[in-house]
Amino acid sequence: MFAPLLLSLVACLACVFAQQEPRTSAPQVRPRRVAPASSGNTTTIRAGGNLQQALDRAQPGDTLLLEAGASFTGSFTLPYKTSTNADWITIRTSTPDALLPAGTRITPAHAHLLPKLLSPGGNAPALRTAAGAHHYRLVGLEIAPASASAEITNLVTLGDGSEAQN
């Protein structure tokens, strides 16, 4: 009586284990989510350019390409934009994707490929969002203090803590 039940149970377990992916000891790298194709304008901001002005002018669907290796010092604000669709404003390195392939970790050796958003110190973040700001995508940016002695509580501040931020 128990033999057919045991045989059925073993067969079910074999099916379950056969459907699982094989386990490996090597760490798995998750593929990077790819943003949908941009539907707007692409603006390149070179070293010394006015990043805040570019952020203020950007519209959903636009891409801001920051010059690879350039440093932008300031407390930059991602402004609230009204939008009826789900287009993103993408802020990214000008480095081609082929040099920073999806699924690979970047290391300090890649630093020259990344633009740097630097906090000036004085407890000012390098990047913040206005209340209600949304649909920004940041790709291949280094965010750091401008100097080792800069006093900073938060490098990035999301929202303002008010009811407008949800």
Which of 120, 136, 125 has the alpha carbon at shortest distance from 160? 125
Mean pLDDT for back-to-back runs of 10 residues, the chain (166 residues): 38 38 46 55 96 97 96 95 84 92 88 95 94 91 93 88 69
Contact 78, 130 (CB under 8 A): yes
* Torsion from C-alpha of 69, 141, 74, 121, nearest 10 degrees: -100
Backbone dihedral angles phi then psi of residue 14, each to the nearest 5 degrees = -60, -40
CA dist 31 and 36 (Å) reads: 15
* Phi and psi based region of residue 47 (left: phi greater than 0; alpha: psi -120 to 50; beta: remaining): beta
Residue 104 makes CB contacts below 8 A (sequence gap 6+) with 29
Candidates 59, 90, 81, 75; CA nearest to 121 is 75
Q: How far apart are CA 10 and CA 64, in angstroms?
A: 58
Q: With contact defined as beta carbons under 8 Å apart, do 143 and 158 qualify?
A: no
Cα–Cα distance between 52 and 124 in angstroms, integer?
15
Instruction: State residue 84's pLDDT score.
Output: 66
User: What pTM, to 2 d.p., does this model score?
Assistant: 0.73
Q: Which residue is associated with the tokens 């943003």?
A: 35
Give CA–CA dist 142/163, Å, rounded.
30
